[in-house]
Amino acid sequence: MQMTLQILSFIQLSDSQKDLIRKSGDCHINCLRPKEAAVHYGQIDVLLGYDAQMDMDAFLPQMPNLKWIHTYSAGVERLLANENFRRSDILLTNSRGIHGIPMAEHILGTMLSFSRCLIEAWENQKAHQWKRLTAPDELYGKTAAVVGLGSIGREVSKHLKNVGMRVVAVKRKKTTEPFVDELFDTEHLGEALSKADYVIVALPLTPQTHQLFDSRAFNMMKETAFFINVSRGDVVNEDDLVDALSSKRIRGASLDVFAEEPLPEDSPLWDVENLYITPHHSSISPMYLDRSLKIFRNNLQIFPQRIGMLNVVDKMRGY
């Protein structure tokens, strides 16, 4: 006889969201913050929350019945930092695939702000100065290198092709991609970087991608290149990026993610010329939670069989 699943969400859900979950499987759902939920840990079968909320060192001993974790985020590195969890039979699914549209729009907006000198125009406006902008340019006909071609990278490529850009991309294995003009495997990253006017990073954080973008990578780029990271802060060596910008080795950059968040007030990144900083919000959208829960509800319907579930994470590979 199938047992009623005890589900705990660390994020408050609306009544309609909870009703849709109940219709997808035999379950009881509570929405509580981690500290408030501690008294229920012993009964929990399924846990919902962001990767940053998942303290597996504390949770695993207190959740003997835990069978499945679904993260509202795509990144799962905090969860996978716990070796006991990695080696356990607990199923892990994430929200990969829901971030593409808002992140692609964020990236395109950043590129347009840079190419059309909109930040410079805003500074002139604040100073009440009517001045010609330095060098407005077009995206049309320029080359973008998209490093990482998962759901985010594909959506970015689609948006960039739609404004007339040439798209080169880098991924682990070569496949046919509809919005990519030239595809490189990871061994030929440098060749892709050398062609690009804009470099967009959309990689998962793994041991192989940790600080992949360092002085060596920046030296492979054009001096006119603009670098964008929306993936994970630790994919970039931030000191090397500061050096590359300060020495004008590359022309500009935009960071939405950082090795330490919130970014410390004394970080040298704040004062670097031609660096745009946003507070890890490129994926934010009013549709975010509903999109994540749609994945979860689909999986809840077939969880007893564990066959055909979406976004199952290979815990040993890291994504």
Whether the upstream peptide bond of residue 268 has omega within 30° of 0, thus cis, is no
Catalytic residue among 280, 281, 297, 317: 280
Instruction: Mark whether 96 is an active-site residue.
Output: no
From the CB of residue 54, how many other CB atoms can be counted at a distance below 10 Å?
A: 24
CA 22 distance to own-chain centroid? 29
Sign of the Cα torsion 256, 257, 263, 268 reads negative
Nearest to 94 by CA among 293, 307, 316: 293
Instruction: Mark whether 70 is an active-site residue.
Output: no
Catalytic residue among 106, 177, 232, 238: 232
d(CA 133, CA 125): 12
d(CA 139, CA 108): 10
Catalytic residue among 28, 261, 281, 306: 261
Instruction: Mark whether 40 is an active-site residue.
Output: no
Tell me which residues are annotated as active site. Answer: 232, 261, 280
